[in-house]
Amino acid sequence: MCAMKGVNRRQFIAGSTILTGAAMLPWSGNVAAAVSSATDASGSPRKGGVLRISVDQAAGMLNPQQARVNPEYLLAELLYSGLTRLTQDMKAEADLAESWKASDDLTQWTFTLRKNLSFHDGSACTSADVVASLNAILDPKNASPGQHNIGPIKTVTAPDATTVVIGTDGPYADLPVMLAYPDAKIIPAAIAGGQPERLSKEAIGTGPFKLVSFDPERLIVVERNPHYYDPSRPHLDRVEVVVYPDAIAEGSALIAGDTDLMLSAASTEFARLSKSSGIVPLRVSSGQFLNVNMGCDTKPFNDVRVRQALALCVDRKATVDFVAEGYGTAGNDTPLNTAYPYYLNEPLKEPDYAKAKALLKDAGYPDGLDLTLIASDKPSTRTQLGIALREMAKPGGFRINVQTMAHSTYLDQVWKKGNFYVGFYNMQPTPDAVFSLLYTSTASWNETRWNNTEFDTAVKAARETADPAKRTELYGKAQKLMHDDVPSLIPAFFDLLAAGRDYVAGYQLHPRGAVFRLDHVWLTAKAPTRK
């Protein structure tokens, strides 16, 4: 493992109280990505039972079109449905839409809904609800994260009660996949058209489960929807989502059998869980990453030389070791890695402190630069990355003060507003999705305010062609622009880690990080009985 200039790994970890080393797993090779076997001993899923799944932060948002973090995505998926949903290999499969087809030029898509769909309150779900829901997501005044992430939609119409026609601004091959975006859930037209505040207190969806109780800081309970469109699912009677803000307490609850499944496991806990009796460790490669966002429209980061200098201070392989505990891969300042198609395999940036100092001097900072980096406390790896960057950047002339704050405060005061902070993002289903979420000028989460016209043009052109060779060229150009211009540092990608009891069946850890598919999960005969 690479060492940083002037400090080796042992010294670095010993000198940083935030970075506590964890023993690596006592085995190597592929790690289980699914809990239990595909079927129970009977050869088919068992009906009934209560699954207790733990999360590490509150699901503070009940409105599915406003969901922002994984526990909220989980809740939205339990209670609501979209037109499509994602399979384990990032492909679109039928949800409320049983089929779809595109025009030859990929600018018009026709979706056919399942018949006899109903919301939890018993009212019918028709194409009118789909039209109203998608229009609500696309309406800027609603500020849904899905606005720029469900595709370049121009029109949404309903020729009849079970048909939805979507027109796009240009050819767009990814629409069925993008309509599986976590926020693209269908709600009643009456609510979408003027009563969205109702969804802050109640849930009226078509999902596999119905809301029983909502205590976002402690416990959320849902029960099987008997009128779900697929009568064979869900298998569980009830799901209880339990909030454990402390990672050690969360892991201990799983080991003790107080919970059955962890939504995610901290790398520092993963080794302990993996060695515990009755626990199945879950690990899958992913495009999930932390980044350090820099406000490219504000001093000092409006000078590309400052951003490039900071990038030259990062030992990327060491970052994987320090921050991801070895459960990940090095990043090269673009949001794509080998988990994505069209990945551009550029040589990995290496630390060059002399060049970093020279760039800072040319930018007008011959004596170095003082900065304050903000990091949310969720997940804790944000602060770990901040501390690592602070130490790595010292020899390059950067003096970084790392300030950690509560995640709720971060969302209110820093996210999309700050000038220098640590972000955290799940893998997206396509390259266009991650670029359009974070880095194009019109991105809904345009945190860096980089606003590079050449980049925007390349991403748009790639979006509008189905030719793989042309897409490779265009997405390669977009990645090269990011690699060189550094609107944000992306030094590491994380494997996704979780764990479950060995009686939980049918669950697969999804590389997207925001997809859970608990309607496919059941409990074997070994599971404890809960009422």
Instruction: Give one DSSP letter per residue of 405-463, joined into a string.
Output: E-HHHHHHHTTTT-SEEEEEEPPPSSHHHHHHHHTSTT-TT--S----HHHHHHHHHHH
The DSSP output letter for 7 is: B
Mean pLDDT for the stretch of residues 413-424: 96
DSSP helix/strand/coil, 49: coil
The token duo for 334 is 């673009």
Residue 256: the pLDDT is 97
Neighbour count for residue 281 (Cβ, 10 Å): 22
Q: Are strands 398-405 and 369-376 parallel, antiparallel or unpaired?
A: parallel
Sign of CA dihedral 89, 513, 221, 244: positive
42: Cβ contacts below 8 Å, ≥ 6 apart:
none
The per-residue pLDDT for 27 is 24
Report the mean per-residue pLDDT for the chain.
Answer: 90
What is the DSSP-derived secondary structure letter of residue 4? B
Q: Is pLDDT of 10 > 80? A: no
Q: Is 23 exposed, middle or buried (0-12, 13-18, 19+ CB in 10 A)?
A: exposed
Tokens of 309: 């200098």
Which pLDDT score is estimated for 34? 60
- Confidence band, pLDDT 50/70/90 cuts, at residue 25: very low
Q: Tell me, what's the pLDDT at 341?
A: 87
Region of poorest pLDDT, from 150-154, 385-389, 453-457, 482-486: 150-154
Dist CA 343 CA 338 (whole Å): 6
* Residues in contact with 60: Cβ distance below 8 Å, sequence separation at least 6, in sequence order: 72, 216, 408
* pLDDT given at position 119: 98
Q: Is 80 exceeded by the pLDDT of residue 162?
A: yes
* Two domains, one topology: 50-264+502-523 and 286-495: no
* 260 band by pLDDT with thresholds 50, 70 and 90: very high
Q: Please give the helix or strand (H or E) that residue 102 lies within, else none.
A: strand 97-102
Separation between Cα atoms, residue 500 and residue 261, nearest integer Å: 4
User: One-letter amino acid identity for 61?
Assistant: M
Alpha carbon separation from 378 to 18, 55, 219 (Å, rounded): 13, 11, 18
Residue 64's pLDDT is 96
3-state SS track over 113-130? ECCCCECCCCCECCHHHH
Is residue 241 within 8 A of residue 53, CB to CB? The reply is yes
Structure tokens at 78: 């339990």
> Residue 521: CB partners within 8 Å, gap ≥ 6?
51, 234, 235, 236, 261, 504, 505, 506, 507
Superfamily of domain 50-264+502-523 in CATH is Periplasmic binding protein-like II (3.40.190.10)
**How far is the C-alpha of 33 from the C-alpha of 42, rounded, in Å?**
22
The reported pLDDT for the residue numbered 307 is 98
For β-strands 50-55 and 238-243, DSSP reports them as parallel
pLDDT band at 173; cut points 50, 70, 90 = confident
Which residue in 337, 279, 346 sits closest to 511, CA to CA?
337
Q: What span, in angstroms and rounded, lies between the C-alpha atoms of 530 and 467?
A: 53
Cis peptide before 300 (omega within 30 of 0): yes
Task: For tokens 């010292």, name the residue.
Answer: 394
Q: What is the pLDDT of residues 347-373, one digit of tens each?
A: 999 999 999 999 999 999 999 999 999
> Of 189, 217, 229, 205, whose CA–CA distance to 63 is shortest?
205
For the segment 326-339, what is each residue's pLDDT rounded down to a tens digit?
999 999 999 999 88
- One-letter amino acid at 497 equals L
* Separation between Cα atoms, residue 57 and residue 241, nearest integer Å: 11
Confidence grade of residue 420 (pLDDT, cut at 50, 70, 90):
very high
Tokens of 217: 């800081």
Domain segments of the chain as ranges:
50-264+502-523, 286-495
Task: Provide the 3-class DSSP secondary structure of residue 189.
Answer: helix
Query: Given this model, what pLDDT does residue 35 score?
Result: 60
Note the pLDDT of residue 33. Answer: 54
pLDDT in tens, 37-94: 333 444 589 999 999 999 999 998 899 999 988 999 999 999 999 999 999 888 999 9
Q: 486 falls in which pLDDT band (50, 70, 90)?
A: very high
Question: What is the 8-class DSSP label of residue 230?
Answer: S
Confidence of residue 19 (pLDDT cuts 50, 70, 90): very low
> If we measure between CA atoms, which residue out of 150, 140, 135, 171 comes closest to residue 429?
150
Phi-psi group of 486: left, alpha or beta (phi > 0 → left; psi -120 to 50 → alpha; rest → beta): left
pLDDT grade for 5, boundaries at 50, 70 and 90: very low
| % of the chain with per-residue pLDDT over 90 | 81
Q: In this predicted model, what pLDDT tens digit does every residue of 115-160 receive, in sequence order?
A: 999 999 999 999 999 999 999 999 999 989 888 889 899 999 999 9
What's the pLDDT score for residue 412?
94
Q: What is the pLDDT of residues 174-183, one digit of tens each?
A: 999 999 999 9
pLDDT tens digits, one per residue of 192-242: 988 888 998 899 999 999 999 999 999 999 999 999 999 999 999 999 999
Neighbouring residues of 51: CB distance < 8 A, sequence distance ≥ 6: 236, 238, 239, 240, 260, 261, 504, 518, 521, 523
What CA–CA distance (Å, rounded) separates 220 from 235? 19
The dihedrals phi and psi of 43, each to the nearest 5 degrees, come to 95, 0
Q: Please count the residues of the chain.
A: 531
The predicted pLDDT at position 43 comes to 57
pLDDT of 518 strictly over 50: yes
Q: What is the pTM of this model?
A: 0.77
Burial of 386: CB neighbours in 10 Å, binned 0-12, 13-18, 19+: buried
**Assigned CATH topology for domain 286-495:** Dipeptide-binding Protein; domain 3 (3.10.105)
* pLDDT surpasses 90 at 490: yes
